[in-house]
Each structure stands twice: as C-alpha cells, then as structure tokens.
Amino acid sequence: MKILVTGGAGFIGSHIVDAYINNGHDVVIIDNFYTGVRKNVNPKARLYECNIQDEQVSDIFRTEKFDIVNHQAAQMDVRKSVSNPIFDAKNNILGFINILQNGVENDVKKVIFASSGGAIYGEQDYFPANEVHPLQPSSPYGITKLTGEKYLSFYAGNYGLSYVALRYANVYGPRQNPRGEAGVVAIFCDRMLSQQKAVINGDGKQTRDFVYVKDVVQANVLAADFSGNGIFNIGTGEETTINKIFNTVKELLDSDMPEEHGPAQPGEQRRSVISPRKAFQKLSWQPRYDLKQGLNETVEFFKQNH
C-alpha cells in the first residue's frame, strides 16, 4: 500500500515510517521541520517539505494517490496551546481539515489519526479512563484533538472515509525532542547529561500513563489492517508520578542531579491514566514494554546521541 505519514520526520512519526517501510509499504512523508528532524527521515521514503495547511498538499495528493493517510503532524505542546490557542488551532484543526478534504477528493481509503488519551479526557472522573469516559479537555490542545475526532466522524458519515483514532497516553522513547516543553523523559535525560538543572513542575506527584514509542508504533501498524472505524486508547493502564520518572532516569544515568521543584504549569492535569482494554479486544494490541525496559532503551539512546 501507499501510505502518507504527516509529521514523518518527528519523534513518533519517524518510527511509524520505519515500521511501514520494513513491512513493505510505499511511504511518503509530509513535514515542515518545525519540530521534525532531518536525520529521522528514512531514506527509502519520499519527502515533501511543506506545511499541512499549504495548497501544495493538494498537488501531493493528486500526484501520489494514497491508500492510507497516517496523520501524526500536530502542535502537541499543551502549554503552547494555552499561551497561543490560535497557532494551536491552525495546525491541529485547519491543517487536519486540509488533509481530510484532500483525502476524500483523491479516494483515500483510510485515515489513522494521532489523538490524545490524556488531554481529551481532562481531569478524570475515574481511573483508568476508557473510551466512553466523559470528554472534558482542559486545554486548547485537548479541544483540538477532540475536534479532530469529530471531523473524522463527519467525513466517515458523509463520504464513507474509514478511520482509526488512536488516543495516545504519554509517549516516550528514542528521538523525542528534549528541547521543547513536552516530553519529560527526554528533557530529564538531556538536562542530566548536560549537567543542567532538571526542574520538576509542581510537587511532582502528578501522574501520567507512560507508553513506549515502539508499542505506539505497533498500534499504528495494526490500525492499517483494521477493518471498520474505531477509537482506541493506546496506553498501559498504569499511573507513574513525575518524581518516579525523575529518580529512575537519575538512577539509570548515575547522575547526582538534585531533585528541584518549580511552579505547577497551567493547563496540566493532576492524574491521567487510560485503559487499553478495547485496543486489546479489537486491535489485538497490548503494550510489550514495561517502564523500566522503555526507560533503559531511551536513556541509552540519549547517552549515545548527546
């Protein structure tokens, strides 16, 4: 199959590109390198450097004739969405509509959408959240991801476009950008290796569901073969505090970095954990990496590439 991966030079997208190519698919990447990295680009993929909002996207769809679109491109920083919701909406809503509209006009069969299993639920009513949990996003980023899912439903109902929305928990692993505001594992690795302060926001007792990038990739591989439409949580169902992440990374790096706390950040949830049961039942997906395994591989990557 011919598959477009938007954001295919990014952290998660580049791993997905690698997996699709290894499975024999013809892969095309659209990336504007706002957060993507050129060395992440698989040389066997065809690359178009542009923004997903650009008119050039229409030419790419007409030329390539994709079977599947895997949409990973996004503004994914919760704090940036709070400080600049217009920028967030242009990327995550208008850019996605451009992809969807070109998809239906050029006979794309399926769209796989990177949604959010944390931000879309907001402050949870119960733990872990399943897919029928109330959707009450507390940040513009979460609102845009929920809006993306609604547009998928619209295009499915009106044009017959098949879709799978994957609600990611907190993804971590090799290639994650340590220079942004998101991605606490990458940030801690980078700061400790650089002997710079690694500040924990708030008391560090806030929890997240940390899922390893290789497990997320496997969900995207299975989604390409899934028949029908569906929304699936992609997480571990286990809560981990930021303090534990800090201390585990510190131990793996044999660092003497002191634990230092700063102010809590606006728009961040206190607890976030999602149930992967539906993905196991329908996609035959489950996480294969526990936290220690994933952090070991991640720390080794940052040590080698620091």
Q: From the centroid of its chain, how far is CA 149?
A: 14
Q: Which member of 141, 163, 168, 212 is catalytic?
A: 141
b/e per residue, 230-247, with b = 16+ CB within 10 A?
Answer: bbbbbbbbbbbbbbebbe
CA-wise closest residue to 57 among 77, 42, 71, 76: 71
What are phi and psi for residue 262, nearest 5 degrees?
Answer: -120, -175
b/e per residue, 47-67, with b = 16+ CB within 10 A?
Answer: bbebbbbeeebeebbeebebb
141 is catalytic: yes
Collapse the DSSP code of 193 into the 3-class scheme (helix H, G, I; strand E, B; otherwise coil) and give the result. helix
For 27, the token pair is: 């892969």
For 178, the token pair is: 């340590």
CA quadruple 129, 68, 285, 214: dihedral positive or negative? negative
CA distance 208 to 230: 24
Instruction: State which amino acid sits at residue 257.
Output: M
**Helices in 90-139 by DSSP H: which ranges?**
95-105
Residues belonging to the active site = 141
